[in-house]
């Protein structure tokens, strides 16, 4: 889809895109009018937006939906189209917001300090419509990309929800954890309890920090006199494309790991032994990366679901004894080349082999060759 700046003479498609953006802005304006000054200052607006922006959307944005919409297009191609469409809508929205906004946003946001808890100045409403639109757009884009790469995300699961937020906005987990409770006043706690409960509530308490981060990032678009419109369009497009590319990088990498798990399960002739050897390789250097953890989690799940193999002894291990694995290797008859191949591929799931992984694989290969 060709990207066109607002104001283009292109009719039809461009008019339809602008109308769609206007409709979404109208919905968000009603949402913003329901916010208090405290919601905005504290970042609590983001918690409320998450509750509104994702729950109904995730029911529609399914893998089947994208397969039907883009018949025959590989996942990478669909993701590229979604990023381009989101970037175009972000630019259109930036142009609309800039044409409406007339004040200095930094001063307007600052005026919230003297506002009553329920009062939100009119200028801030325009600013917040822009902020909530771009936030929602980028969060939904990240979710779309996860779905297209067949990475399951449950927005009712606190870990999945925080993962989506971090991927969409490039926020490190440690930043959220260190800063979360500082920005959770009584009013926000009440909002959280209204929309969330149980473990989801615990995770959602960190969301106001994200709201403050995004609000501060948004102010720069309006803080430089004379360049509001082009800067707003540029920043909206830039941050949306960056969010999409980051989500593609994260979720595509995960998709590759999951694809590897399916390949290893399909090719091995020694499923139980392969799982033990894979766990030995993963633990070789004394640390387990996210990619390794995801791979082994998926391996054990596929073994259980496809082959009814559920190794309780392996699952209950605290400390892995290499001699236990070598005993199992030595006791297994026949050609074990599939196990060696699996070990080599497991070792490279998070990058090049390190010294410890090379040593384990060399030992494995030597034992298998002595047969």
pLDDT in tens, 50-61: 888 887 888 889
Q: In angstroms, rounded to a whole number, what is the distance separating the alpha carbons of residues 280 and 25?
A: 53
Q: In angstroms, rounded to a whole number, what is the distance separating the alpha carbons of residues 145 and 247?
A: 7
Q: Residue 167 — φ and ψ, nearest 5°?
A: -70, -45
Q: In angstroms, rounded to a whole number, what is the distance separating the alpha carbons of residues 91 and 239?
A: 11
Number of Cβ within a 10 Å radius of residue 54: 20
Measure CA 51 to chain center.
Answer: 16
- pLDDT tens string 269-313: 999 999 999 999 999 999 999 999 999 999 999 999 999 998 899
pLDDT score of 12? 60
Residues 345, 260: contact at Cβ < 8 Å?
A: yes
DSSP 366: H
Helices vs. strands in the chain: H and E counts, helices first: 20, 0
For the segment 89-100, the average pLDDT, to the nearest whole number, is: 86
Rg (CA), the chain: 25
Tell me the residue ranges of DSSP E strands in the chain: none
Query: Which pair of tokens denotes residue 259?
Result: 């694809």
Residues 136, 271: contact at Cβ < 8 Å?
A: no
Q: With CA atoms as reference, report the closest residue to 296 among 338, 342, 331, 332.
A: 342
Judge whether residue 203 has pLDDT over 70: no
Q: In angstroms, rounded to a whole number, what is the distance separating the alpha carbons of residues 157 and 130?
A: 28
Q: In angstroms, rounded to a whole number, what is the distance separating the alpha carbons of residues 354 and 84?
A: 39
Residues shown for the chain:
371
Query: Which pair of tokens denotes residue 20?
Result: 């769609």
- pLDDT tens string 113-142: 444 444 556 667 888 899 999 999 999 999
| Mean pLDDT, rounded, of the chain | 81
> Residue 55: CA atoms inside 13 Å, Cβ hemisphere, count?
9
pLDDT score of 172? 61
Judge whether residue 25 has pLDDT over 90: yes
Q: Residue 162 — φ and ψ, nearest 5°?
A: -70, -30
Task: Please give the model's pTM, rounded to 2 decimal places.
Answer: 0.77
pLDDT score of 276? 97
pLDDT score of 369? 83
Three-state DSSP state, 349: coil
Which residues, other chains included, contact 325 with Cβ-Cβ below 8 Å and sequence gap of 6+? 276, 277, 279, 280
pLDDT score of 13? 66
pLDDT score of 189? 43
Residues 82, 141: contact at Cβ < 8 Å?
A: yes
- Residue for token pair 């590897």: 260
Q: In angstroms, rounded to a whole number, what is the distance separating the alpha carbons of residues 116 and 99?
A: 28
> Residue 123: CA atoms inside 13 Å, Cβ hemisphere, count?
15
Please calculate the CA angle 100-103-107 and round it to the nearest 5 degrees. 140
């Amino acid at each position: 889809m060709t990207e066109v700046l607002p104001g283009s003479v292109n009719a039809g498609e461009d008019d339809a895109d602008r109308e769609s953006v206007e409709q979404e802005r109208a919905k968000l304006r009603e949402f913003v009018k329901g916010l208090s000054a405290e919601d905005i200052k504290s970042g609590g607006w983001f918690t409320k937006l998450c509750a509104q922006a994702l729950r109904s959307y995730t029911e529609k944005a399914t893998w089947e939906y994208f397969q039907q919409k883009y018949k025959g297009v590989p996942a990478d191609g669909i993701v590229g189209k979604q990023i381009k469409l989101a970037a175009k809508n972000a630019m259109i929205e930036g142009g609309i917001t800039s044409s409406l906004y007339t004040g200095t946003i930094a001063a307007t946001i600052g005026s919230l300090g003297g506002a009553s808890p329920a009062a939100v100045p009119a200028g801030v409403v325009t600013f917040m419509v822009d902020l909530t639109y771009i936030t929602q757009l980028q969060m939904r884009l990240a979710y779309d990309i996860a779905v297209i790469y067949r990475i399951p995300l449950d927005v009712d699961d606190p870990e999945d929800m925080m993962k989506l937020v971090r991927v969409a906005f490039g926020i490190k987990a440690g930043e959220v954890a260190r800063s979360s409770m500082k920005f959770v006043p009584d009013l926000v706690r009440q909002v959280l309890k209204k929309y969330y409960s149980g473990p989801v509530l615990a995770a959602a308490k960190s969301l106001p920090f994200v709201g403050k981060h995004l609000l501060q990032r948004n102010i720069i678009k309006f803080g430089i006199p004379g360049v509001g419109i082009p800067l707003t369009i540029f920043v909206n497009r830039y941050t949306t494309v960056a969010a999409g590319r980051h989500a593609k990088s994260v979720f595509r990498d995960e998709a590759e790991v999951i694809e590897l798990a399916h390949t290893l399960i399909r090719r091995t002739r020694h499923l139980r032994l392969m799982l033990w050897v894979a766990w030995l390789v993963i633990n070789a250097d004394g640390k387990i990366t996210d990619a390794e953890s995801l791979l082994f989690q998926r391996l054990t799940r596929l073994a259980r679901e496809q082959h009814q193999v559920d190794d309780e002894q392996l699952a209950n291990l605290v400390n892995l004894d290499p001699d236990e694995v070598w005993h199992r290797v030595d006791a297994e008859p026949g050609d074990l080349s599939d196990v060696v191949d699996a070990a080599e591929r497991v070792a490279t799931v998070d990058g090049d082999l390190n010294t410890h992984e090379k040593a384990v694989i060399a030992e494995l290969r030597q034992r298998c060759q002595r047969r």
